[in-house]
Amino acid sequence: MKQERFDKIISTQFNISRRDARIAIRRGKATLNGKILRDFGALVDVDADITFNGQALNYKQYIYILMNKPKGVLSASSDKKKQTVVDLVPENLKRNGLFPVGRLDKDTTGFLIITDDGDFAHKAISPKYEVYKSYLVTLDGKLTDEMVKAFADGIVLADGTLCRKAVLTILGENTARVKICEGKYHQIKRMFGVVGLGVNELKREAVGGLSLPPKLKEGCCVELSLEEIQAIFTNS
């Protein structure tokens, strides 16, 4: 059975600082198996009966939150001047150490995972694991079959960077779906710039085999199950 320091459990699971957790524990605000425990450094089974301020603990090693990111919000954990995606996470899902998995540009909307699991984030982002991200794109000009081929062959960006092969599917005269398995800075905008088009709207629809729920409104979040997390690594 996994054990962790008592103050770390209280801090991470109840979204307070380690210092505040220690103070509260010393003041008798936390219990272990029905008895007050004031030793904040004690090693405790994470599945034990723990309460804090009368609230029972439902231990989760990590949390995975899916947000429908709205425009104008930074894909960052914190910023002194601007609102971030972590700022939008509701209190019942907040905990220490949350960060967005990858980045969506400020004006890009859609599928964004926020978590505190670094290993998961690495696997979801790294091109090595070939987790494809799907985007709906609205452009300022007409799409052509030549563009589809160029994306499939691998676009060379203006600075000479070679992009991996991408899937471009034409949906309308100026709308398309793009699937890529990497995330270079402003990549999709730069790819379309090479073929002479500008991006007017960009929305991420899916990552791997998990799609954005159609009823999830912009700015809203939902906690993902382990089955949904696993679906990310099965490309659709």
What does the pLDDT look like over 98-141, one tens digit per residue? 999 988 999 999 999 999 999 999 999 998 899 999 999 999 99
Whether residue 105 lies in the annotated active site: yes
Query: Apex CA 190: angle with CA 198 and CA 85, to 5°?
Result: 90
Give residue-wise pLDDT tens across range 32-66: 999 999 999 999 999 899 999 999 998 899 999 99
All domains of the chain, ordered by start, with CATH? 3-56 (3.10.290.10), 64-126 (3.30.70.580), 132-207 (3.30.70.1560)
Average pLDDT for the chain: 94
Average pLDDT over residues 2-8: 92
Active-site choice (105, 116, 119, 145): 105
- Cα 131 to Cα 105: distance, rounded to the nearest angstrom: 19
Average pLDDT over residues 178-190: 93
The percent of residues above 90 in pLDDT, for the chain, comes to 86
Indicate the pLDDT class of residue 234, thresholds 50, 70 and 90. Answer: confident
Q: Which tokens hold the place of 172? A: 């309308």
Average pLDDT over residues 187-192: 96
Query: Could you tell me where the beta strands, DSSP code E, fall in the chain?
Result: 3-5, 30-32, 35-36, 43-45, 50-52, 55-56, 64-69, 99-100, 109-115, 133-139, 167-170, 175-180, 199-207, 210-211, 221-223
- Cα 64 to Cα 74: distance, rounded to the nearest angstrom: 18
By C-alpha distance, which of 190, 192, 236, 188 is closest to 212? 236
Single pTM value for the model: 0.88
Question: Is a pLDDT exceeding 60 seen at residue 236?
Answer: no
